With several copies, the nearest count.
Chain A
Amino acid sequence: MHRFANPARFLRLAAAIQPWTAGATLILLGLGLYFGLVDSPADYQQGESVRIMYVHVPSAWLAMAAYSTMAAASGVGIIWKHPLADLVAKAASPVGAAFTFVCLVTGSLWGKPMWGTWWAWDARLTSMLILFFLYLGHMALLNAFDDPTRGAKAAGILALAGFVNIPIIKFSVDWWNTLHQPASVSRVGMPAIDPAMLLPLMLMGLAFTTFFVTILLMRVRSEILAVKVRAIRLTQIHSVPGSATGELVGESLR
């Protein structure tokens, strides 16, 4: 039906890109870990605990980037009815949820020595927790329907509506006086951070991004195959043995 969706081309493209992103991930991760854990100074205030930053901040970025990807894909799915877009959204949400979880836990682990508490009900922390719940809601909604296409549409609407949370996470530290660090890397103008710490942070950020792309491609491939499997299953189920319309005639799937 949606011939223009052309998953065959996507599958080919994905197969071609994937080794490169996977390789890049490994190299970047190696470099990032080296600079982060070995060849970077301890913070004059926070001491060695600052090294948590090299996993905490990239996972926070990725959590938000994955949600943005999901929302964008959902928008494309709703407006242009491109079925691949729904699959991208579906593939992105567990990955995003996983990294939101990592951000929450590493933040907690950092908070204990720095603020003296595992958790505080501060705006950024809270909005991040809400992001986690939004991911969970998205996944639950996706799987709450018997008809997967229906689940994809409902979850898409939720993803778009929940997008208002992203700017709140991003700017909560500026809007409200909070415990959490204000932006020091991603703020306008020069980053207010030591270059020796900036380098591993950037390397890890890139590594997480390529990792995300790799996993996303794999998951979308997997979802496409799942759709094919379901389509064949359905024709088998609904073909009445013996009736003219029901026989499983035809070419194998491309």
Chain B
Amino acid sequence: MTEGCLSSTFTADGLACVRGERVVFTHLNFRLSSGEALFLLGPNGSGKSSLLRLLAGLLKPAAGQLAWDGRPVSEDREGHAARIHYVGHHDAIKPVLSVLENLRFWARLHAPEAGDARAQAALERFGLWHLREVPGKLLSAGQKRRLNLARLLAAEAPVWLLDEPSVALDRASVKTLEAVIAEHRAHGGMVVLSTHADIDLPEAGRLYLDRFAPKPVEAAEAWI
């Protein structure tokens, strides 16, 4: 990985994650600088989604620490939230709001001054502008996913956390996603994404989560 000069860093140090009283992974470290990307890989249930929620601040680590430019993330939760775009398994699309209304709400919450121009550009990029007045409930699976991804462009945030973002996308849309990610990185953004499919990100790091599975002793003592 290359490192810029004026760049930020996002580091994890000895992270451990407990879900449902079970240790999912332990002793996980990584370091990410501006412009870099990280693939999370591993079989089903190895903790990719859990790690992404942890990085987003939705889950609290059972041990270890996340830091942004060396400062622990836990000290400034709202500041961290402002740095992040998270795309999870759920689409967060309101069935009765139109495509544009759905997107605009999120854009304004992230950046109140974000213009409608930005939302329009995001929808156009993901090929949804012609559907802007269609209510959310009439979208197909892939259209929903694209609307969800359009949030990434509707407001700026340096860190993108994407949980299997290519699910339900057709090939053309996967290409668009790859291009969008490349631009984000070119502008100094970071990307962490989990996937089982092939997504083409040049020079991305790879983190195999099954390697951080706890030894059974640790697992059985999760709590104690």
Which residues of A are in contact with B by a Cβ distance under 8 Å?
A: 1-2, 5, 7-8, 83, 146-149, 224, 227-228, 230-232, 234-235, 237-241, 245-251, 253-254
Q: Which 10 A-B pairs have CB atoms at the shortest separation, nearest pair first?
A: A250-B217, A245-B213, A1-B62, A235-B219, A234-B22, A147-B20, A235-B220, A146-B137, A250-B216, A231-B220
- List, in ascending order, chain B residues with CB within 8 A of A235's CB: 22, 216, 219-220
Nearest chain-A residue to B45 (Cβ)? A238
The reply to whether B223 and A83 contact each other, CB–CB distance below 8 Å, is yes
The reply to whether B130 and A237 contact each other, CB–CB distance below 8 Å, is yes
* A232: min CB distance to chain B, Å: 5
For the complex, give the distance between the alpha carbons of A231 and B23 in Å. Answer: 9
Q: Which of B143-161 contact A (CB under 8 A)?
A: none
The reply to whether B216 and A231 contact each other, CB–CB distance below 8 Å, is no
- List, in ascending order, chain B residues with CB within 8 A of A148's CB: 21
* B207: min CB distance to chain A, Å: 16
Q: A1-B16, A234-B21, A238-B134 are in contact. List 17 more A-B contacts (CB 8 A).
A: A1-B18, A2-B223, A5-B224, A146-B96, A148-B21, A224-B224, A228-B223, A231-B21, A231-B221, A231-B224, A234-B22, A234-B219, A234-B222, A239-B216, A246-B216, A250-B216, A253-B224
- List, in ascending order, chain A residues with CB within 8 A of B137's CB: 146-147
The reply to whether A240 and B130 contact each other, CB–CB distance below 8 Å, is yes
Sample (30) of A-B pairs whose CB atoms are under 8 Å apart? A1-B63, A2-B224, A7-B224, A8-B224, A146-B20, A147-B19, A148-B21, A149-B20, A227-B21, A227-B224, A228-B224, A232-B220, A234-B20, A234-B22, A234-B219, A234-B222, A235-B220, A237-B134, A238-B22, A238-B45, A238-B131, A239-B130, A240-B127, A246-B216, A248-B216, A250-B217, A250-B220, A253-B220, A253-B221, A253-B224
For the complex, give the distance between the alpha carbons of A2 and B127 in Å. Answer: 32
For the complex, give the distance between the alpha carbons of A141 and B131 in Å. Answer: 26
The reply to whether B221 and A237 contact each other, CB–CB distance below 8 Å, is no
For the complex, give the distance between the alpha carbons of A127 and B127 in Å. Answer: 54
Query: Number of contact residues on B: which range applies?
Result: 20 to 34
- List, in ascending order, chain A residues with CB within 8 A of B214's CB: 245
- List, in ascending order, chain A residues with CB within 8 A of B210's CB: 245
The reply to whether A149 and B21 contact each other, CB–CB distance below 8 Å, is yes
The reply to whether B217 and A251 contact each other, CB–CB distance below 8 Å, is yes
- As a 0/1 sequence over residues 192 to 224 of chain B, the CB contacts with chain A under 8 angstroms (1 = contact) are 000000000000000000100111110111111
For the complex, give the distance between the alpha carbons of A35 and B215 in Å. Answer: 60
Nearest chain-B residue to A238 (Cβ)? B22
Nearest chain-A residue to B95 (Cβ)? A146
Query: Which one of B21, B23, B96, B134 contacts A230 once the chains associate, using CB atoms below 8 Å?
Result: B21
The reply to whether A147 and B63 contact each other, CB–CB distance below 8 Å, is no
For the complex, give the distance between the alpha carbons of A241 and B42 in Å. Answer: 17
Known: A234-B21, A248-B216. A1 touches B222 (CB 8 A): yes
B82 at the A/B interface (Cβ < 8 Å)?
A: no
